[in-house]
Structure formats: structure tokens, C-alpha cells
Amino acid sequence: MNMFILNALFNFKGAFSIYNRYKVMFLFGIRNTLIISLSATIFGLVIGLFFASLKLITIQKHDRILSRLFKYGLKILANVYIEVFRGTPMMVQSMFLYYGLRPTLGWSPWQAALIIVSVNTGAYMAEIIRAGIQSLDDGQYEAARSIGMHHALAMVIIILPQAIKNSFPAIGNEFVVNIKDTSVLNVIGVSELFFQSLAVAGNVFRFTETFLVTAVIYLILTLTVTSILRIIEKRLDTPAGFIGASSSFSGAFKVFKKGGAT
């Protein structure tokens, strides 16, 4: 037991020394991690709003055949996008998309990182927004249609603002998840926190102490962001106990009145 305590103290002392020596590299990684995760969460929300709207398009009995086929095609497109990006690891997506499209797009690792994380986040956001929309009373949509609003206008003006407010805890959770998941971007050479930690560990050959520093930094980042999001959530007065579809808890919509969309 005493040896365990001494070893732990030695690791913490070594970690503190490594952080002081390579503080600039760690701070550079932190900055890049926050920029990518925040930007991708915002872009992913926009993408999610779009595909959630497509997935919830209603096919009416009086629609013409071409209209039905068009709507059905949009719903299939949304479902394929969501299932593909939720069903494959982001690391695999990063390798496949970056190296597969680089000859055509000529993009940098940073550009690829923002797009890949945004598109991946959009798939989860689509399910979060879909669930938020389905948690609303049907009467609001029917009332909007009764005063002459078409589907798109009713969604933008009436439904989506409320759905986003109800879904805010899950949307915030995706931001926290993105802070951690950006670590996989080191496979395409993005200088985020994990990439910088690998560089530091390679310099000092002390992996335990180096990644102890990294773990503490990630913990501080996620706890800080979570605390800020809780303050915002209280100000928005969002429903307590809302459950969203984060990448670590996908498909959990037990509080909603309806089932999944077809």
C-alpha cells in the first residue's frame, strides 16, 4: 500500500514537471481541441436540423405520385446518412474521407477535421432534434398549418426553436463528447491535445506521467464545459431529466410520447 502511494506521488510529481516543461505544447493542443469541437458542434447542429426535417417529412394520401416519390427519396437519404455516420467509428471515417478525398479536394488535415467531425456530429444531432420535435404536442404543428403555414415555415418558425430548447441538454452533451472524440483526429495529423501529448511523450519517454497530464486536462475541460452548460440550461428553463441521443447513449428516447419516425 505504501509503495502504491509512493508510486502515485512520484507519477504526479513527474506529471507536474512535464506539464511545466511542455506547457506551450499542451496549451496549443487545448486551443485546437476547443476550436474543432465547438465549431463542429455548431455546424453539426445546422446539419442535424436539416436532416431531422427531412426525416420527419410527412407523406400525405392526397400527394401526387411524383411528390410522394420525392419525399420518400428525401427520407431515405436522411436515414442512410444518419445510420452510416452513427454506425461507423469516427476514426475510420477520418481515415477514409481524408485520404480518399484528398486527391480531389486537396484539403488540409484541419479542413478535413472540421468537416468530418461536423458531419459525424450532424448524424447524432439529427436524432436529437427529431426526438425534440416529437416531444412537442401535435396541436402546435396543426395550428401552424391551420393559419396557412406550409411545412417548412411551420418547422422554422414554430417547431424547431422549441425542439432546440427541449434538446439543449443533449446538444450540450454532444459538445462534451466532441471534446473527447477529437483525440481520434491524430490519425490524420491534426495537432489537437492527444497529438501534442504523443509528441511530448515521445520526447521524454515517460508515457504514464504525460498521459496523466492529458487525462487531467480533458477532465478539467469537460467539467468546465458541463458546468457552463448547466448554467445555460437553467436560464433556458429546459425540462429536467431530458434524455438525448449522444454517441455514448444513442437511441435513448424513453421520455417521448411517440416512437421513432419512419
- Phi and psi at residue 240, in whole multiples of 5°? -70, 145
Into how many domains does the chain fold? 1
Specify if 104 maps to a domain: yes
Specify if 249 maps to a domain: no
Specify if 7 maps to a domain: no
Nearest CA-CA partner of 190 in 198, 4, 124: 198
Q: What is the CATH number of the domain that holds 75?
A: 1.10.3720.10
Residue 9 has what pLDDT? Answer: 54
Q: How far apart are the C-alpha atoms of 145 and 187, rounded to whole Å?
A: 49
- Phi and psi at residue 230, in whole multiples of 5°? -65, -40
Specify if 36 maps to a domain: yes
Q: How far apart are the C-alpha atoms of 19 and 94, rounded to whole Å?
A: 29
Specify if 35 maps to a domain: yes
Residues 95/185, Cβ–Cβ less than 8 Å:
no
- Structure-derived torsion over alpha carbons of residues 221, 227, 228, 233, reported in degrees to the nearest 10: 140
Buried b (16+ CB within 10 A) or exposed e, 181-193: bbbbbbbbebbbb
Domain with 92 in it: 14-236
103, three cell numbers: 486527391
Specify if 94 maps to a domain: yes
Specify if 247 maps to a domain: no
- Structure-derived torsion over alpha carbons of residues 41, 110, 95, 44, reported in degrees to the nearest 10: 20
Specify if 256 maps to a domain: no
pLDDT (tens, 9 = 90+) of the chain, 262 residues, equals 555 454 555 566 777 888 888 899 999 999 999 999 999 999 999 999 899 888 887 777 777 888 788 888 889 999 999 999 999 999 999 999 999 999 999 899 999 999 999 999 999 999 998 888 887 777 766 777 677 777 677 777 777 788 888 888 899 999 999 999 999 999 998 999 999 999 999 888 888 889 999 999 999 999 999 999 888 888 876 444 444 444 444 443 333 334 444 3
